[in-house]
Amino acid sequence: MKVEKKINMCSLELLFKPRNVVILNFSQKIAFFVEGFKRQGFDLENLYLISTKEEEYSDIKCYKTFDDIQEDTIDLLILSVRRELLIKSLGDILSKKKVKFVHIFTAGTGEFDELGMEIEYQLKELLDNYKDTRAIGPNCMGLYSPRGKTAYYSSFPIEEGNIGLIFQSGDLHSKMIKFGSKRYGLRFSIGISIGNCVDIQISEILEFFNHDDATDVICVYFEGISPLYKNEGKILFNVLKKMKKPVLFMRGGRTKRGQTAILTHTGALATKSDIWSAIFKQTSVIEIPPSLDDLVDQVYLFSHYIPRVKDDNNDIIYPVNKRALVILWSGGFGILATDTLTELGLELPHFEGETLESLKKIYPLKIGSLSNPLDLPWIIDRKEFVELGKAAIGENIDLVIIETDAWRDMEDGHFKSYYNNLLALRAYVESLNKSFIIILHQYPSESQAKFTDMLMKDEFIVYSTIEAAAKSFLKLYEYGKRSVRLNKEEN
């Protein structure tokens, strides 16, 4: 076993920023890779396609054989051959040329049948003989790295962000990027669809992210450890304990029935739930229910919050309590919000004494309510809206939730005043290092889409349900509490 191969951060940087890329056995079927590179602006001079069938693709010349390529060292080789040819192809190449990283795209290996598992054993054996070559996969979509201008789909955003992804499902990985970027404008530092893990392990990528300045929060979709790396469980646990950043961890196979499904997907060894309970207890890792929607919802708040709410030492200030102020203009929604938030474990402090008196002085309501939820029909476009909000936000509030709805006429003066009120109130709330979340209900409508766009462009945090907002805030709160506790235990 070549332990020295492991955990070399410098080398991983090259995986995410390859100077050149070779795609073996290129065909139209996998043209999406090329489209991904093109869209990201990867220098096509350094992209080599090898194909016996194609002469060229989209002005990029195709080489007949690997030997035609003049580069001394290949930084990234994308291997897309039938599984029967995998060992021979890779063996041939490695015997002739220095290859830093291989992305084994081929599926139908360990997850599929015994022959496939045998191929994975042989792959590991082969790679063990080439100590400078590291591989991801097989059975994975590979890499999305805006910093290296690489992506496997042209639909992925070109802008870098602060979310790191490690996924043991290529499709979920792609959908995370697609849903996240379209729904909330999420942006990613690096995404890796890692597959069956015959070489590079999840723990290694986590360590990389832990030291990567661009990455603020990490999402993992985990199915299990490779049968070839039975120690990986322990290593992973130790890495998770050391993480200095939030890790949102979604585990496939939380149920026994789900574990049987995993056998046909990555063929990984599913880990028992009680082991995971222990891990979640002893680390600051945040468990996410088995839903991509929950993961997208929840990482949205982390990715937005972390860069903004820092103290003078540049340390992130996580909420230490979970007390919400709700402002809206609908009594019915106020009651549902109160029930939902209370059932989820948040608190809604009552206004008392001086606070209540000052609210009454600012605006004596005839309709609505000066309690929490603050129900303010008719006056949302007046300056009193902001004044009431400010007066209501005391020391005992950690989170402000505004429930709103789309306006038919966004050129209307009332709308503009209301929108300015939202901006003013957010500025005040964020100056106090508290969270400010907008709830805008979801339904197909032009004005709804336009208002959502406007809010997103101005970097409001916008959820479509109060439940999604509350659950996301609770994860932020939970992470803050647990990372503080674990830090204390450490010192």
Can you give the binding site for its own copies, defined by CB under 8 A?
107-108, 111-112, 167-173, 175, 178-179, 182-183, 221, 223, 250, 252-258, 260-262, 264-266, 289-293, 330-336, 338-340, 342-343, 347-348, 350, 366-367, 369, 371, 373, 375, 405, 441-445, 449, 452, 465-467
If the CB atoms of residues 184 and 229 are measured against its own copies, the closer one turns out to be 184
Q: Residue 245 Cβ, how far from its own copies at the closest point, in Å? A: 24
C-beta of 9: minimal distance to its own copies in Å? 28
Minimum CB distance to its own copies smaller for 231 or for 260: 260
Q: What is the dihedral of CA 137, 141, 142, 143, to 10 degrees?
A: -160
Please say which residue, 121 or 443, places its beta carbon nearer to its own copies. 443
The per-residue b/e assignment along 398-421, b for 16 or more CB within 10 angstroms, e otherwise, is bbbbbbbebbeeeeeeebeebbeb
Output the smallest distance, CB 61 to its own copies, in A.
Answer: 28
Asked if 328 and 403 count as a contact pair (C-beta separation under 8 A), the reply is: yes
Least distance to its own copies from the beta carbon of 216, Å? 23
CB nearer to its own copies: pick between 142 and 170: 170
* Cβ contacts of 329 within 8 Å, gap of 6 or more: 368, 375, 376, 377, 378, 380, 403
In the complex with its own copies, the residue whose CB is nearer, 56 or 171, is 171
Identity at 319, one-letter amino acid code: P
Measure the CA–CA gap between 206 and 245, rounded to whole angstroms.
10
Tokens of 377: 């029909």
Backbone angles phi, psi at 101, to 5 degrees: -135, 140
Nearer to its own copies by C-beta: 367 or 484? 367
Cβ partners under 8 Å of residue 196, min gap 6: 109, 110, 111, 120, 137, 138, 139, 140, 226, 266, 267, 268
User: What are the DSSP calls for 317-379, one per residue?
Assistant: ---S--BEEEEES-HHHHHHHHHHHHHHT-B-PPP-HHHHHHHHHH---SSSBSSSSEE-TT-
Nearer Cβ to its own copies (83/100): 83
> Shortest Cβ distance from residue 318 to its own copies (Å)?
24
Instruction: Pick between residue 106 and residue 203 the one whose CB is nearest to its own copies.
Output: 106
CA separation for the pair 368, 42 (Å, rounded): 57
Q: CB of residue 264 vs its own copies: minimum separation in angstroms?
A: 4
Question: Shortest distance, CB of residue 471 to its own copies, whole angstroms?
Answer: 12
Whole-number minimum distance, CB 90 to its own copies, in Å?
Answer: 20
433 dihedral zone (left: phi>0; alpha: psi -120 to 50; beta): left
